[in-house]
Amino acid sequence: MQLSDFDFDLPEGLIAVRPAVPRESAQLLVARGGSVGAGIEDLHVADLIDQFHAGDRLVLNNTKVIPARLSGARHRATTDAGSGAGVAKVEVTLLEPAADGTWMALAKPLRKVKAGEEIVFSEALSARVEEIAEGQLRLRFNCTGDDFDAALNAAGAMPLPPYIAALRAPDEADKTDYQTVFARHSGAVAAPTASLHFTRPMLEALAAKGVAFTEVTLHVGAGTFLPVKVDDVATHKMHAEWGEVSDQAAAEIAATKAAGGRVIAVGTTALRLIESASASGQIAPFRGTTEIFIYPGYRFRVTDALMTNFHLPKSTLLMLVSALMGADRIREIYAHAVAKGYRFFSYGDASLLIPESRN
């Protein structure tokens, strides 16, 4: 398989820069079966209630996006010749926490920062640059725990995906819009975007119908936006992300499978995690990092269907949905979505993809 097999033309006007309001008014494409020419329905997210049955289980990623974009001022103790001024503006994007309490981050412009210097983001939040390596900073903040969370929430902005950030700056609305209603565990720097479509009333209506929910946690990293740079996709190395499937979550999913119910992943992040936890062939508790790369030829172990947004050309996520539905079928689905004016990417519309065996 070549990278060019996963390319398609997308008009820039179909890139969503704001979510649908209300959330459930977004369009929903429902595709069943993996064969070309099978049916495609054009619905709305509110219609999901009619798509699921009693006994189905939705797997939700409860990660919480942190306001990881920070604007600060670098403070340099000395102004040696050629080293620049004592104070300079720096934009920082947090990537992931390290075991020693530091954070890995990106800085722009990186050339204005040296190890040992301090970056001040607000009166309550500052960080010392412990190390610079491979284009990244290791930062040690001046506070931890709840104090850090409060200071970060006050000073930071949501880390919008590059394709949105290129069109507009983040604002206060994104702190709500780019967060799921069931977000619980802080640590993601990108949202599990299929989950953004859900509201509390929708979840309650589904529960009343007999649909069950299982929460898992995958802290989505900035690596989700990294392009594939190899022509032979099988040689691509996937980025690592931390996730957890608890004992209870694994037991709930196993019980649904045993009863003949459908396990429906809400988002590619939830799907990748439960497939990682099923490496033995059956779902099991999981805690750690996953680098699972799902592309055509992959045999799904536990996932019966997927709700997901529409993905970037040549992306690993497009390869994942091609593995689920078949590459030819996905090309057909995406051509339909473009022709019908579906809105793409993180703030865009949704699809419900149900392979033929699980209709």
Q: How many CA atoms, within 13 angstroms, populate the side-chain half-sphere of residue 176? A: 7
User: In the CATH hierarchy, which fold is given to the domain comprising 3-65+176-358?
Assistant: QueA-like (3.40.1780)
pLDDT 10s digits, 155-210 = 999 999 988 988 998 899 999 999 999 999 999 999 999 999 999 999 999 999 99
DSSP 8-state class, residue 2: B
Lowest model confidence (mean pLDDT) among 70-79, 94-103, 129-138, 323-332: 70-79
Write down the pLDDT at residue 274.
98
* pLDDT interval class at 314 (50, 70, 90): very high
Q: What is the DSSP string of 233-260?
A: GGGPPPPPEEEEE-HHHHHHHHHHHHTT
pLDDT > 80? residue 300 = yes
Task: Identify the residue whose tokens are 């507009």.
Answer: 168
The arithmetic mean of pLDDT across residues 90-104, rounded, is: 90
* pLDDT interval class at 33 (50, 70, 90): confident
Write down the pLDDT at residue 359.
53
pLDDT > 60? residue 80 = no
Write down the pLDDT at residue 149.
92
Hey, how many other C-beta atoms are within 10 angstroms of the C-beta on 326? 19
Cβ(290)–Cβ(240) below 8 Å = yes
User: 3-class SS at 175?
Assistant: helix
For 69-155, CATH number out of 3.30.420.40, 3.30.1330.40, 3.40.720.10, 2.40.10.240 equals 2.40.10.240
Write down the pLDDT at residue 77.
65
Percent of the residues in the chain that have a pLDDT greater than 90, as a whole number: 86
Lowest model confidence (mean pLDDT) among 13-22, 80-89, 257-266, 282-291: 80-89
pLDDT > 60? residue 270 = yes
Q: To the nearest whole number, what is the mean pLDDT of the chain?
A: 93
pLDDT > 80? residue 119 = yes
**Residue spans per domain, the chain:** 3-65+176-358, 69-155
Lowest model confidence (mean pLDDT) among 65-74, 140-149, 223-232: 223-232
Write down the pLDDT at residue 307.
98
Structure-block tokens of residue 35: 């064969």
